[in-house]
Amino acid sequence: MSAQPEVAVIGAGVAGLACASELARSDVTVTVLERARGLGGRLATRRRGNLAFDHGAQFITARSRPFVRYVAVARNAGAAAAWTPSILEDGHRNWDAPIEDWYVGTPGMSGIVRPLARGLMVQTGTLVHELIRRDNRWELETDTGRRLGPFNAVVAAVPATQALSLLAPHGRAFRHLISVQMAPCWSLMVSFERGPPVASDVFRWTEGPLALAAREGSKPGRPADRGSWVIHATPRWSREHLEADAQEAAQLMLHSFATAVGSGLPAPAWVHAHRWRHAMVEQALGLPCLLDADIAAGACGDWCIAPRVEAAFESGHAMAHSVLSMLGKLVPRSAAEPQP
């Protein structure tokens, strides 16, 4: 093993960046590979002109001490802010604040990961197609046929189905990923010509095709626009319409939103639907992460623990500590403390 091990982390969502950041602070050379053009995974923002739509996760919460500290770091860095919207639940005003504080990234949800990504070597627009084990090291082949590596270890911080595809041919331990179940989600982004005549910033439903709707302009750091909304369908509706055309899904969701809020909506200036195939954990792995030390490969993500952004952070940290232990390195005393 070289004096400075090299580790590849596939995926630049919260889990991948939390893992990579922890490894990098422990004298490990880390390369992060991300298929998308940006960072954050489902902490995603779509921009259209001067408008912004958080079409993935709408907010995060923080419970554990390490993640509470990290959110404080992100807020101090201007990468996150508290969000206190007015809420209607099933048509009834929720006069109480949410049980937990809500936070959003600024100026978009992916801002939350900026402190994690600081100083890391990240290659975006890089889809890892196959893992190749050779001479006890790893080479990664991209969809363009390019070979990357060799690496001493590899971590797949991607949805469980993708991790299974990459890792199952190399280790029996990764067959456990079959038990993980993820729910899809159709997300509607709509900009109305004028603000809809509704009084709330957030709607949540327990029945019907829709789960949540959020006024984007109510979030800190966003343009003060009352006409921009993101609407999420329920897992059940999303499954039933999983292979629908995006335009068809958009029109169906827009009609459902008009019905649910019970008031005439103004004409939309722009409508677009995005399908997340792996949006929310329904059945978690039940482990903080998964590592096969014999082949120096592992997998992590929110799907290991629970359907929360914080779970992805925790899984990434657990993965980093497992890899460091495998590499025979000591976790620095400050490892649990995110750096400003």
pLDDT at 223: 82
Distance of CA 334 to the CA centre of its chain: 25
Cβ pair 312, 60 in contact under 8 A: no
Residues 125 and 64 in one domain: no
Buried (b) or exposed (e) across 237-263, using 16+ Cβ within 10 A? bbeebeebeeeebbbbbbebbeebbee
Residues 260 and 216 in one domain: yes
Residues 10 and 136 in one domain: yes
Strands (E), 35-95: 46-48, 51-53, 80-83, 87-89, 92-94
pLDDT at 265: 86
Residues 255 and 297 in one domain: no
Residues 122 and 53 in one domain: no
Residues 128 and 260 in one domain: no
**Domain CATH for 314:** 3.50.50.60
According to DSSP, the residues that pair with 290 across neighbouring strands are 299
In the chain, the amino acid numbered 335 is: A
pLDDT at 336: 41
Residues 188 and 302 in one domain: no
User: If you ran DSSP here, which 8-state letter would residue 220 be given?
Assistant: T
pLDDT per position as a tens digit, 176-197: 999 999 999 999 999 998 878 8
pLDDT at 338: 47
On whether residue 334 sits in a domain, the answer given is no
Determine the structural domain holding residue 277 and report its residue range: 47-107+181-282
Query: Is the link from the previous residue into 197 a cis peptide, with omega within 30 of 0?
Result: no
On whether residue 336 sits in a domain, the answer given is no
On whether residue 147 sits in a domain, the answer given is yes
Cα–Cα distance list, 240 to 186, 234, 270, 287 (Å): 11, 10, 25, 30
pLDDT at 335: 41
Residues 277 and 130 in one domain: no
On whether residue 340 sits in a domain, the answer given is no
Average pLDDT of the chain is: 92
Domain C-terminal end among 282, 300, 316: 282
Residues 123 and 258 in one domain: no
Global pTM reads 0.92
**Domain CATH for 221:** 3.90.660.10
Alpha helices in the chain (DSSP H): 14-24, 65-76, 114-117, 160-167, 235-240, 246-261, 309-326
Residues 122 and 168 in one domain: yes
Task: For the chain, list residues with pLDDT below 70.
Answer: 1-3, 91-98, 329-340
pLDDT at 283: 97
Residues 97 and 227 in one domain: yes
On whether residue 332 sits in a domain, the answer given is no
Distance of CA 39 to the CA centre of its chain: 9
Domain C-terminal end among 282, 315, 335: 282
pLDDT at 92: 67
On whether residue 155 sits in a domain, the answer given is yes
On whether residue 202 sits in a domain, the answer given is yes
Q: Which helix (H) or strand (E) holds 122?
A: strand 121-123
Residues 210 and 92 in one domain: yes
pLDDT per position as a tens digit, 217-233: 999 998 888 889 999 99
pLDDT at 226: 80
| Count: domains in the chain | 2
On whether residue 223 sits in a domain, the answer given is yes
